[in-house]
């Protein structure tokens, strides 16, 4: 069982993630932008972070950079879930220390599998 912080600005996708994760034993925290997510991460010290990239106020890359910059949070794997997965975008994921990425539209099963892979690597 892992603690996972999700960060996604689209309400529909937040709903989908919540429903998709119901069948797992993981504890999830849902946030709407990078700033909220950072607060939740500092509070919960999760095992995994799953974040959208383009969001209001604070995007996924800025969130990843902020997490990597804090010594207490270093080492938490971050997975980007995004609608932009062209060649240049994938290179950016690596630049921002991504442990994995998932392209939208994604299937709930693929999301759970990716999370399981990250947990296995912990």
Partner 1 sequence: METAEPQTDQLRGVTSNRATRAASLGVAGVVVCLAAFSIFASYATQTQVDRARLSASLLRNYEHATMAIRAAEASELEYLIEPSPEHRVELSESNQAINAAVSEVAARGGKDDARLATDILALHDQYLVASARLVAAMAAGDEVEARRIDEDEGDPFVHAMDDQITAATNGRAADAEAAFVALQNTARWILIESPVVFAIGFGLLFGLWRILEQSHRAARETYREIEQLSRLRSEFVSIVSHEFRTPLTGIQGFSEMMRDEDMTMPQVREYAGDINKDARRLARLITDMLDLDRMESGRMTLNSEPVDLNLIVAETAAQFRLSAADHPIELELDSRLPMLMGDSDRLTQVVTNLVSNAIKYSPSGGAVELRTKRTERTVTLTVRDHGMGIEPDQLEKIFERYSRVQTTETRAISGTGLGLPIVRLIVQLCDGKVWATSEAGQGSVLHVQLPLREAAVAAPLAA
3 vs 92, beta carbon nearer partner 1: 92
d(CA 64, CA 104) in angstroms, rounded, equals 19
Candidate residues 9, 36, 37, 47; the one interacting with partner 1 per rule CB under 8 A: 9
Q: Is 72 in the site for partner 1 (CB under 8 A)?
A: no
13/73 with CB nearer partner 1:
13
- Residue where the block lists tokens 């937040």: 14
| 10 touching partner 1, by CB under 8 A | yes
Q: How many CB atoms within 10 Å of residue 5?
A: 28
Backbone dihedral region for residue 57 (phi beyond 0: left; psi -120 to 50: alpha; all else: beta): left
Q: How far is the CB of 102 from partner 1 (least distance, A)?
A: 10
Select 40 or 81, whichever has its Cβ closest to partner 1: 81
What is the longest distance spanned by two Cα atoms in the chain? Answer: 35
- Report how far residue 82's alpha carbon sits from residue 111's, in angstroms, rounded to the nearest whole number: 12
Interface residue with partner 1 among 109, 113, 116, 117 (CB under 8 A) is 109
Catalog residues that contact partner 1 under the rule CB under 8 A: 9-10, 12-13, 15-16, 19-20, 23, 53-62, 83-84, 103-109
């Amino acid at each position: 069982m892992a603690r996972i912080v999700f960060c996604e600005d689209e309400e529909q996708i937040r709903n989908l993630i919540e429903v998709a994760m119901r069948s797992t034993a993981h504890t999830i925290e849902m946030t709407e932008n990078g700033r909220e997510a950072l607060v939740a991460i500092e509070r919960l010290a999760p095992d995994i972070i799953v974040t959208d990239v383009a969001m209001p106020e604070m995007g996924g890359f800025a969130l990843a950079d902020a997490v990597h910059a804090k010594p207490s949070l270093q080492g938490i794997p971050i997975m980007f879930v995004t609608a932009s997965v062209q060649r240049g975008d994938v290179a950016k994921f690596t630049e921002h220390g991504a442990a994995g990425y998932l392209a939208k539209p994604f299937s709930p099963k693929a999301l759970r599998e990716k999370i399981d892979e990250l947990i296995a690597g912990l």
